[in-house]
Structure 1
Amino acid sequence: MTSQPLKEIKICFLGESLVNGTGDPECLGWAGRICQDAFSKGFDITYYNLGVRRETSHELRKRWLQEVSYRLPQQYNGRLVFSFGANDTTIENGKTRVSLQDSITNLRDILTIAKDLYPVLVVSAPPIDDEGQNQRISDLSQEFASVCNQLNVPYLNVFPELIESDIWMEEVKKYDGAHPRAAGYQVFAEIVQNWQGWLNWFDG
């Protein structure tokens, strides 16, 4: 009896340091963990982590298409996962690095192109150890949800669950105020890998 061939899926994860997995001594982050989980279930995952530390949605909007096009030519079963926004909400020189309206516009511009080329998922930015910034991240996440709903792109807001996670919040606080360690990223990963939007990619 021969085993069934693995379903080949190539996935690019795009965003900032929290996509990159900064702080994880296992160098997996949440994105690596959900791909590891899918691989263990019989899927042949090619995993491209395109997270860039300190990047805002302005820079991401400029680079994503070229980087994805190199890795996911149209003949491949390519998919995209975007997760960004925390850096947009950081205060520098008395104002956020990117205004709320510009963040919304950047997401809309990215998704309008991306959804016509590949299956796309969007995951919100998680909370950090800063009450003021968390309110801005939460507000941005709600706006991003609205954009994704309008464009019919599946969206997962991880913020409410992670801000209630003792593991996530304690690791973020003890490490650098913005990033967790391995256990925190595992909590994040479990939320995503049990999300129907992600599971739909592997159904059947």
Structure 2
Amino acid sequence: MKMFARAFLLACVPLLTAGVYGQTAAPASTAAPATDAATAKEIASMKAKLNDWPALDRYRAENAALPPVAAGEQRVVFYGDSITDGWGRRPGTGTFFPGKPYINRGISGQTTPQMVVRFRQDVIDLHPAAVLILAGTNDVAGNTGPMTPEMTEDNFRSMADLAHANGIKVILASITPAFDYPWKRGMEPAPKIRAINAWLKDYCEQHGYTYLDYYTSLTDSEGGMKPGISFDGVHPNEKGYAIMAPLAQAAIDKTLGAQ
């Protein structure tokens, strides 16, 4: 009986060790989870931004095809973010100054540091008489990372200095109103926008630039867009641009009339 028990135990040892040290159990999967479509799209967008952070490619071909400034022409570059980019291009925004030698060089989502980088290509090299800069709301939203008001102000200074050094008249527009950002809730932009606008107005007065006040005509009592003039509380619709257009034209007339 003892010999039988011993033989039984000896026979079981290989089975026991195989269970502890062997590969009898299926190994845990180490394969990476499948990337969903939304994540893949976000990754592709991030790669594109890394490859061309200031989006110099956006207008490169259009700039190359642009004819030289004609004799007596007073070309104006509208330079900015989505609020400029969408003007006359997005459905429901009306037209963009038909018959005028005005060039739209807005890029949706851009912040002032990106705009500084592309300023030479998309403004200076087009030889305008004036540049109308509308920017800053995406700085407040933190589209390219957290920014202080001082950082935004320094970028406005840089663009104005570049324009002035190249004989281009400067028009600095107020940041348009926003009570909240639909793509980044909770940033409380209204008081921040008012503060930067106050700085812009004072800066223009000190340096002889034109301050274009869109804000007063577009804002409600809470610092947001008035009802019915925007798609989402940030981006103007046709009614919003209909308010902005004569204000912009008056600022251009004032600026170029002073030459």
| 1:186 aligns to 2:236 (yes or no) | no
Q: Find 1:68's aligned residue among 111, 123, 138.
A: 123
Query: Which structure has the higher relative contact order (CA within 8 Å, separation 6+)?
Result: 1
- How many matched pairs? 178
Partners of 2:255 and 2:126 lie apart in 1 by 22
Partner of residue 226, structure 2:
169
TM-score normalized by the length of structure 2: 0.60
Q: Find 1:121's aligned residue among 171, 191, 196.
A: 171
Structure 1: unaligned runs, 5 residues or longer = 1-5, 40-44
TM-score normalized by the length of structure 1: 0.74
Q: Find 1:84's aligned residue among 94, 110, 135.
A: 135
Tell me the alpha carbon deviations over residues 137-158 of structure 1, each in whole angstroms, 9 at most, x when there is no partner.
1111111222222222111222
The amino acid across from 2:139 in the alignment is D
Q: Is the 8 A contact 1:86 1:125 kept in 2?
A: yes
Partners of 2:139 and 2:240 lie apart in 1 by 22
Rg bigger for which structure?
A: 2
Partners of 1:28 and 1:79 lie apart in 2 by 23
Tell me the alpha carbon deviations over residues 35-82 of structure 1, each in whole angstroms, 9 at most, x when there is no partner.
33xx4xxxxx3221111111001100111112223322xxxx632111
Shift of 1:21: 2.6
The amino acid across from 1:115 in the alignment is H
Percent of pairs with identical residues? 21
RMSD: 2.9
